[in-house]
Amino acid sequence: MATGKVRYWAAAREAAGVPEESFEAATLGELMTKITRDRAELARVVRRSSFLVDGSPVGKRAHDTVVLAEGATVEILPPFAGG
């Protein structure tokens, strides 16, 4: 189990209500489950978003296979400009 921070950008920031928050999770999949629990609008935005883990794009990898290192920074990037 790693601890780190998740940063929200654009619509994700608006849906989360904060620019960033701390997390405790082993994988990106676990983190997504935790941060979207009881946050329907954030869950909607996250489904359409791209992710960076420590600056590296996650791409199409299954989120449950993306292991988070201690001190990781996860950035949630919704589509910009209709992209």
pLDDT tens digit sequence for 19-53: 999 999 999 999 999 999 999 999 999 999 999 99
pLDDT tens digit sequence for 58-75: 999 999 999 999 999 999
For residue 10, what is the DSSP state?
Answer: T
pLDDT at 82: 52
pLDDT at 80: 76
Residues in contact with 60: Cβ distance below 8 Å, sequence separation at least 6, in sequence order = none
Q: How far is CA 57 from the centre of its chain?
A: 12
Q: How far apart are CA 79 and CA 49, in angstroms?
A: 6
pLDDT at 81: 55
What domains appear along the chain, each with residue ranges and CATH number? 2-77 (3.10.20.30)
